Amino acid sequence: MTVISAPYAYNEEDLYVDLEPTLGNPLYLKCEGFNFAGSIKLKAATEMVESAERSGVLTHGSILVESSSGNLGVALSMIAASKGYRFLCVTDSHCNLTTRLMMEAMGSDVHVLSDETGIGGLLGARLAFVRALCATDTRYVWLSQYTNADNWKAHYRRTAPAIARAFPEIDTLFVGVGTTGTLMGCARFFRAWSRPVHIVAVDSVGSAIFGRTPGRRMIPGLGMSITPPLLDEAYVDEALCVEEIDTVRTCRMLAERGFLFGGSTGTVVSGANRWLAHHGDRRTTAVAIAPDLGERYLDTIYQTNWAQGLYGDDVLAPDGKAALPGSVRAGRAGERHDRPTFPDSAHTALL
């Protein structure tokens, strides 16, 4: 029996879904959404808050502020409510309504930005707003998930060791990328593991994380309009990009089988299944990390009019095989990349 007194004290660490009967390829999905924040972001949020408390940066009377597309904002809202802090989440118009309402229900303030005409688009606008706020009031404490090493340390200490315990023969790990905290924590851990583990980063088309030109992205969670400061490509063996239409198809295909996952999970599963179709076999031990669940996407990914309006009638693929085409490879198996460079000096200045 598990008994807790604080909501951030609970996180289901050892739940996996065997997706081979669904996909036809060997893949275990580590489910990270079964906690009171509903996503893997609870780990990073807890680590960053507790580190700030230990260092004395975060004290009674501080106001937490963070830029988030949604899930980290929910996690920080929960922690702030539990610990008695005020919290302001700076988000943008792509944040799901359900997510915003969840943060507000826990007492957080939510500031939504919609002007993406400046340098860095919506992310740049969010970061500029946070910086200006902190400059005007010393009570604000910005944890900065994009640059905070405690983001990746949370996964080095918890997520990766849990995978290693469950699958000591793991060959390949698929990790979705946003701030790259999960990726870098897991990649650093498995670099020193007792056997080689092929690390595959899964990104969204329209993301600039691996140096591509930023483009339209309508599904919050994965991807960024810049190369994240936390990323060290020397730890990444391969990177894949997934079209958002494939994310939607994959989510809806999984839902038809009773698994209601979020957009980030749909992206990771789509990319992993594409990779395994070309490189996997029955002896492969492959694990993918599922960052979120699907309730917050009921009015977007799982809403037919929304999906068809953005991606056309073809988004409603009639069967599972049609749900997983078209991931774009951005690397080769076994290839080590150089350390990352920012694609634009103006983007570097955002952080």
Task: Give DSSP secondary structure letters for 82-118.
Answer: HHT-EEEEEEETTS-HHHHHHHHHTT-EEEEE----S
Which strand ranges, in their side-by-side order, compose the sheet holding 16-18?
A: 16-18, 28-31, 286-290, 172-176, 198-204, 238-242, 328-329
pLDDT digits (tens, 9 = 90+) for 132-154: 999 999 999 999 999 999 999 99
pLDDT on residue 198: 98
Residues of the chain with pLDDT under 50: 319-349
CATH number of 41-142: 3.40.50.1100
Rounded Cα distance, 280 and 172, in Å: 9
CATH number of 7-38+149-329: 3.40.50.1100
Domains of the chain by residue range: 7-38+149-329, 41-142
The reply to whether 7-38+149-329 and 41-142 are identical in fold is yes
- Report whether 330 contacts 126 (CB < 8 A): no
- Report whether 52 contacts 148 (CB < 8 A): no
pLDDT on residue 16: 98
Rounded Cα distance, 16 and 51, in Å: 29
Q: Containing H/E element for 43?
A: helix 41-55
Beta bridge partners of 275: none
- CB neighbours of 16 closer than 8 A, spacing ≥ 6? 28, 29, 30, 31, 166, 287
> HSE (CB half, 13 Å, CA atoms) of 91?
25
pLDDT on residue 316: 85
pLDDT digits (tens, 9 = 90+) for 36-45: 999 999 999 9
DSSP 144-157: -TTT-HHHHHHIII
Q: Quick one: residue 262, left, alpha or beta (phi over 0 = left, psi -120 to 50 = alpha)?
A: beta
Q: Is the pTM of this model over 0.75?
A: yes
pLDDT on residue 122: 84
